[in-house]
């Protein structure tokens, strides 16, 4: 999982670093899986996280009001 994050971190790093945010995450494997299955899931997860961060930033820019990423 660490290696998959390392080779895919660019998917999320740009979204986070553009605004100077920090990001902490934890990945937990809940079931046995193959490397290829895990790679696909990690890629999808990181793309979704990046999209949520961009959406959050866009909504803040549009409204000017603070929002939470916890939803």
Q: What is the CA radius of gyration of the chain?
A: 14
Q: Supply the DSSP symbol for 19.
A: T
* Cβ atoms < 10 Å from Cβ of 67: 12
Q: Is the pTM above the cut of 0.85?
A: no
Inter-residue contact 10 to 42 (CB < 8 Å): no
CA–CA separation, 38 and 8 (whole Å): 12
% residues pLDDT > 90 (the chain): 4
Inter-residue contact 1 to 42 (CB < 8 Å): yes
The pLDDT tens digits of the residues spanning 38-61 come to: 989 888 888 888 888 888 777 776
């Amino acid at each position: 999982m660490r290696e998959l994050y390392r080779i895919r971190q660019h998917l999320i790093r740009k979204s986070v670093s553009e605004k100077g945010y920090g990001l902490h995450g934890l990945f937990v494997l809940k079931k046995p899986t193959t490397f290829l299955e895990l790679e696909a899931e990690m890629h999808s997860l990181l793309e979704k996280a990046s999209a949520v961060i961009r959406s959050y930033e866009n909504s803040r820019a549009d409204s000017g009001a603070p929002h939470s990423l916890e939803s």
